[in-house]
Amino acid sequence: MKPETADARMLLAVIEHAQNLVALADYDTGRVLHLNPAGMHLMGLTDEAAVAARWAPEFFTDVGFVQAPEMESTLLEQGQWEGRSEFRNFLTGEPIPVTLSAFVVERSPQDRPTVIACIAQDLRTAQEHEQRLHAALEAAAYRAREQHALAELSQLAVDGDLDRVLAAAADAAAALMGVNCASVARAEEPGGALRVLAYRGQPPAPETFTPGADSQPGYAAAVDETIICPDRYGEHRFSTEAMNARGLRSGVCVPIGAEPVWGVLTAHSARPREYSDREVMFLRSVTAVLTAAIRRIEAEEALRYQSLHDPLTGLPNRALVHQQIDAALDAARGSEHRVAALLIDVDEFKSLNDRLGHAVGDNALILLAEQLQSVVRPTDTVARIGGDEFLVVCPQTTSVEEAIAIATRITELQVGADSDGRDLRFTASVGVALAGPQETRETLIRRADAAMYHAKAAGSGYGLAP
């Protein structure tokens, strides 16, 4: 065919590049007028001369030729026919199942068909194309779910608390991987057991994973590598007893963080299975988001700790102890317990600093902080609120005598020698105040402060606020 117009040339270009067989044939003689390259390949015809030597009926096997009368009558009556048929390859003789569309493209003045066109799709490759398309659609859908899950997790990583972030990570791993269970476990100390902080999947949820080669998560944490186990049968790198006890056959464990490993993200299935590179990459992406979130949360916690603790002694500072007094007063209202405040001032601390230097003075304060914590009750809070001033908050105090007993132990403290063997003996004055029914933090501290100055004026010891 030699097209004479631009439209004809464009149409021919489309036909020539079509993936399916496209043929034109003379209706009366059956002579093949044109066969596109895809059709030539399908039928085993090597060139145009081979095509010109063939008749349309020769394209069909005996099975396909049975439909010829039906096809001819339908073309005459309706101008088109569609259905399944069977061609044969001229080189190999192999039958080729096809879906066939035949239609009239040119008629005589008497309205009789003169040229017909045929479009045929090889059903053998159609199924392959359909499978590839289905796989492509599944992959696209998976990528969309994956990106959505990572986007949601990344948003949580910016402003969510640790529990929510870890739970979202376990949810994403379980849902996207199609596994029976997923978890996030933390290595709280090097070489120790991993505590499970988040879990999604079949019960019961494990509380811990054993360290090192005694479990897959422990092994992943120990070697700081992604560990894939397609089937626990035949696994020799680590013990699979825990997997067996939980009815699991395969799994992936990916370390979280590095130097040292913070924890492990796990995904396990009850059946043997291969884990694809894409699935493993997704889990690694989740752990990357987790690592960023953990760093943010730990940095925020460090800043929060620094803002609420004394940098020298590590004790709660003024801001934190004020919060604790408010909480203790709220809890004591309507109960039989009272809140006691003990304000402590080190006697002649300035002269100690002047004589021995600020480094020795700092060391003395650190030793005193340790001693103070050793003589109060477990429920009490010791805070440093100034240079040489400490405040002890005693919630749930039952009597004045109980508060005085604590104050007495404080005044009897012997700090002892510093790291260079210097004796750091000194005394402290303690003001004791017990909160009344309508007491506020401000009035309670003010009363304890006044009692402390009264004790100092008397030559140290303790003073009790009225």
Residue-wise pLDDT for 144-166, tens only, equals 888 888 888 888 888 888 999 99
- Note the pLDDT of residue 405: 93
- Note the pLDDT of residue 2: 57
- Note the pLDDT of residue 148: 85
- Note the pLDDT of residue 415: 63
328 by DSSP, 3-state: which?
Answer: helix
How many whole angstroms separate alpha carbon 193 and alpha carbon 215? 10
Q: Whole-angstrom distance between the N-terminal and C-terminal Cα of the chain?
A: 117
Task: Give φ, ψ of 459 to 5 degrees.
Answer: 100, 35
CA torsion through residues 87, 89, 95, 97, sign: negative
Q: Which residues of the chain have pLDDT under 70?
A: 1-4, 8, 348-358, 415-426
| CA neighbor of 173 nearest in space, from 148, 149, 140, 203 | 149
- Note the pLDDT of residue 356: 64
| CA neighbor of 98 nearest in space, from 73, 116, 71, 118 | 118
How many whole angstroms separate alpha carbon 164 and alpha carbon 320? 26
Residue 58, class by beta-carbon neighbours within 10 Å (0-12 exposed, 13-18 middle, 19+ buried)? middle
Domains and CATH numbers, the chain: 6-127 (3.30.450.20), 160-305 (3.30.450.40), 318-464 (3.30.70.270)
- Note the pLDDT of residue 348: 67
Task: Give φ, ψ of 193 to 5 degrees.
Answer: -65, 155
